[in-house]
Amino acid sequence: MKYLVIGLGNFGMTLAQTLTDNGHEVIGVDSDAVRVEMVKDRIAFAYIMDATSAVALRSLPLSDIDYAVVAIGQSMDHSLRAVAALKSLNVETIYARALDTVHKSILEAMNISKIFIPESYAAKLFAQKLNDKNSEALL
């Protein structure tokens, strides 16, 4: 599979590297040159780019992408703009990170059905680990 990961912060970078480790081709995009530099040797392609711009995104091989993941975690505005840019370029499958319930509701209004809040998922998974009898071995 081919993935586009927009936003290479802690979550996005880990996602991109893990997908690569699992045999997928990943294109990573971030506006921060330092983040792109950190991941460029671990994934197929890494670009310094303003992903809120449809003009910039048009330079990517979007027709080859199976999934686009908007993993931006610092700015709801940038996240929503990146999602809107992808939609305007007819990217079919978009996964979008929501920062909170308001962000989630806006994404839903944009007809994005694949919405995730990684902090909620991680907290639930961690709580399960804490409840496990062998939790000391898992932490």
The larger pLDDT score, comparing residue 130 to residue 90, is at: 90
Q: Collapse the DSSP code of 5 into the 3-class scheme (helix H, G, I; strand E, B; otherwise coil) and give the result.
A: strand
> Per residue in 37-69, pLDDT tens?
999 999 999 999 999 999 999 999 999 999 999
> Per residue in 2-26, pLDDT tens?
999 999 999 999 999 999 999 999 9
Inter-residue contact 108 to 115 (CB < 8 Å) = yes
Inter-residue contact 56 to 49 (CB < 8 Å) = yes
What pairs with residue 114 in β-bridges?
95
Domains of the chain: 2-138 (3.40.50.720)
Distances (CA, A) of 37 to 6, 28, 29, 31: 15, 11, 11, 11
